[in-house]
Chain A
Amino acid sequence: MDNLIQLTINDIPVAVPPGTTILEAARAVQVRIPTLCYHPDLLAWAACGICVVREARSPKLLRACCTEAAPGMQITTHDPEIVKIRQTVLELILSTHPNDCLQCPRNGNCELQKIAADFGIRDVPFESRVMPLPRDESTKSVVLNPEKCIKCGRCALVCQQMQGVWALEFLGRGERTRIAPAADVTLEESPCIKCGQCSAHCPVGAIYEYDEVPKVWDALKDPKKYCVAQIAPAVRVAIGEAFGKAPGTLLTGQTYAALRRLGFRAVFDTNFAADVTIIEEASEFVERFARHTGPLPLITSCCPAWTDYMEKRAPDFIDNFSSAKSPHEMLGVLAKTYYAEKLGIDPRDIVMVSVMPCTAKKYEITRSEEMSASGHQDIDVVLTTRELARMIKVAGIDFLNLPPGEADSILGTYSGAGTIFGATGGVMEAALRTAYNFVTGEDLRDVNLRQVRGMEGVREAEIDIRGTKVRIAVAHQMGNVEQVLEAIRADRKAGREPRYHFIEVMACRGGCIGGGGQPQGATDEVRKARTAGIYTDDERCAVRCSHRNPDLIKLYADFLGQPLGEKAHRLLHNHYHKKKAYAR
């Protein structure tokens, strides 16, 4: 107790550890100081000034988000003058913000709208000064609408500090400040990796997912089309948030049922294809590890934001990448070949819709010709979790009370290994469960490899496969990957054996459960709850290892042949190429 800092907040005594901000100290005694630019993922940037508070001995107001509590502080968080100042700040922000809330993609979950409502703003006494600026839809993944930007800085901080991408920066100054890529390029021509973390952190409608809901309605209305949906592992633990459920609530059955009610003729689960990915990737790993057929470490490639980053920023690792496609792409090609053949459907009529926690998946589906391995574009449309939630609402489906449905067979059954793809460390754990079997011919006695789970940015572990040590690393949140790559580069330079044999990388914090297409408002608390939901799903699965999935065994026996075989290679694998970070 000695080193706690004693202070008062609105005359309420509070003791906090050193380094605690006034904002956090206030929350500890149930005092909510309003914030707008502040986000717990980011270093406080103190851009907006909404959180100002008074300290008895300070001549000026302090920003609670970035001022550390000090001994003896006497803080007042709310008095008429402070409230008036906050209101003026809000009115000034609103005077430069377009007044079209009803048509805004964030209508109903905008942080500015909410705070304006809380303050009871009824009138803006300042002249409206909205800078006309063009929208950037070039990535077809995220849309940048700088007119709506309130200059809170979250997107730039996320892009630079968390992700290490540096696609976005503040350009200009004063009221002409705008968020944009450097050197007059579009986002598509910039180092942007389409992870969408900017859109997940934006408090307003300035950055959001590229909306493809109308495209899906059109396909569903067309009687000639055979619409097929699949859902990614991370969707099931987050979609409930859009309907008021707690993060991590498992709604797999309800999501299947809702997709059927929307008119999809078949509903598959990306988890099935995650199992297929594991068979291919674990085979690749065992080939390289035991038979030295390719360079180590093997690096996972199911995250399209990460592969885009690597092609632009770390092309010296192209040969280390697993050539296995990401699960939803595998499911797409299998639906338009294997499934279409079985049911006698013309693959031309199939419209494959992937529901993903991710904006980069929208980019992935046309990233190379290999994404049309079936002879048609394997995935036609990617919807984010947010877009599916909107479709369910507009269709009048009472989502939370739906009787749970089932996925369709042959591409719908999944193992627990498939579902944990949604969390950081999950692909590694799933691959090791199967690699262990491929090497030893037996299954792990305890399939729970807890040493690869967790939220640390980079985690290392050594897994014993009957006397052979496999050294692995798991990295998530793009900005954390550079240290892992640097370590491998140092090993290469020194001519040493690489310190890791197998590396998993996910661009988003927490893995796909924290994806850029998930319901807004993710913090570490939310991410932990979603992750817990994923591991609950794993534990509830009768089959925990990909190679034990009965539909998958049938798929290889009836259609694919051997893992890494000729057919598997043609349909399920792809290649990567060096790209410029700036296209021009």
Chain B
Amino acid sequence: MSTTTEPTGAPKLTDELLAFIAEWKSRPGSLIMVLHRVQQTFGYIPRAVAFEVAELLDVPLAKIYGVITFYNFFKLKKPGRNQIQVCLGTACYLRGGEDIVHAVEKQLGVGLNAITPDGEFSFEAVRCLGCCGLAPVMTINGKVYGKLETGQLPAILAKYRQV
């Protein structure tokens, strides 16, 4: 497999990831493990890194793309600096999760599964965060906001913008 022609400065495998790949290379299931670690490092699977992983694991690039487009967990685009997840699981949906989605969209000026042009926020809907008693729920960078009302959103988002 060839390497990519992304401009210099494009993400490259770190030494830590190279060591991880060397350790996992010959074990079954290594591809998923490596891809998880890549996403942990970069927040997504950079195209150039996917090429590198294909070469090092001797796995066809098409197979890697089959995997990373199949699982919603894997991201192909660099996420925003702050990552918002709004729950649309059954409980949150019934308690107005959709209203939260629309309100966040209005606040950010972008739709679901998008990144704001300034790169500050990325925004996605998820299925159940495991705290249905707090419905409707939203998380930002892993911090949980429960029993959420749309009126609270401007203040919450402003806090992250300022950081």
Contact = CB atoms under 8 A, between A and B. Distances in A.
Interface in B44-75: 47, 50-51, 60-66, 69-70
A171 B69 contact: yes
Interface in A143-189: 160, 166-173, 181-184
Interface string A184-220: 1000000000000000000000000000000000000
Interface stretch (B1-9, B115-123, B138-146): B1-9
Nearest to A181: B62
Find the residue from B4, B5, B66 having the highest chain A CB count within 10 A. B66
B70 A173 contact: yes
A581 B1 contact: yes
Interface of B is mostly: helix
A45 to B, nearest CB: 14
A453 B93 CA distance: 66
A411 B60 CA distance: 44
Contact of B63 (A169, A173, A184, A582): A169
For A166, A168, A170, A182, the residue with the greatest tally of chain B CB atoms inside 10 Å of its CB is A182
Contact of B50 (A166, A183, A581): A183
A182 B63 CA distance: 8
Interface of A is mostly: loop
Contact of A166 (B4, B51, B61): B61
Contacts of A167: 62
Nearest to A312: B2
Contacts of A582: 1-2, 4, 51, 61
A132 to B, nearest CB: 18
B66 A183 contact: no
Contact of B69 (A160, A173, A181, A580): A173
Q: Which of A170, A172, A183, A581 has the largest number of chain B CB atoms within 10 A?
A: A183
Contacts of A171: 65-66, 69
A342 interface: no
Contacts of B66: 169-171, 182
Interface residues of B, number: 16
A182 B5 contact: no
A224 interface: no
Given A582-B4, A582-B51, A183 B69 contact: no
Contacts of B47: 183-184
Nearest to B61: A182
Nearest to B71: A173
Nearest to A173: B70
A167 B1 CA distance: 12
A182 B62 CA distance: 5
A580 B2 CA distance: 5
Contacts of A183: 47, 50-51, 61, 65
Interface size class of A (residues with CB under 8 A): 10 to 19
A493 interface: no
B70 A160 contact: no
- Which of B50, B51, B69 is most buried by chain A, counting CB atoms within 10 A of its CB? B69
Interface string B56-99: 00001111111001100000000000000000000000000000
A165 to B, nearest CB: 9
A182 B65 contact: yes
A477 to B, nearest CB: 17
Interface string B18-61: 00000000000000000000000000000100110000000011
Contacts of B60: 160, 166, 169, 182
A171 B61 CA distance: 12
A172 B72 CA distance: 9
Contacts of A166: 60-63
A496 interface: no
Contacts of A60: none
A160 B1 contact: no
A584 interface: yes
B65 A169 contact: yes
A173 B69 CA distance: 7
Contacts of B64: 182
A169 B63 CA distance: 7
Nearest to A582: B2
B51 A169 contact: no
B132 to A, nearest CB: 25
Contacts of B63: 166, 169
Given A183-B47, A183-B51, A168 B62 contact: yes
Nearest to B65: A182
Nearest to B59: A166
Interface in A398-455: none
A373 B51 CA distance: 38
B141 to A, nearest CB: 27
A1 to B, nearest CB: 41
Contacts of B62: 160, 166-169, 181-182
B76 to A, nearest CB: 9
Given A169-B62, A182-B65, A584 B5 contact: yes
Nearest to B62: A169
Contacts of B61: 166, 182-183, 582
A171 B62 CA distance: 9
A160 B62 CA distance: 9
Nearest to A171: B69
Nearest to A178: B69
A185 to B, nearest CB: 9
A359 B67 CA distance: 30
A305 to B, nearest CB: 17
A182 B68 CA distance: 10
Nearest to B70: A173
B109 to A, nearest CB: 25
A584 B51 CA distance: 10
Contacts of A181: 62
A465 to B, nearest CB: 40
Interface string B98-110: 0000000000000
A584 B4 contact: yes
Interface string A557-582: 00000000000000000000000111
B43 to A, nearest CB: 19
B2 A581 contact: yes
Interface of B: 1-2, 4-5, 47, 50-51, 60-66, 69-70
13 contacts: A160-B60, A166-B62, A169-B62, A169-B66, A173-B69, A182-B64, A182-B65, A183-B47, A183-B50, A183-B61, A184-B47, A580-B2, A581-B2
Given A173-B70, A584-B4, 7 more contacts: A166-B61, A169-B62, A169-B63, A172-B70, A183-B47, A581-B2, A582-B2
Q: What are the 4 A-B residue pairs with the smallest beta carbon separation, nearest first? A: A580-B2, A182-B65, A166-B60, A169-B62
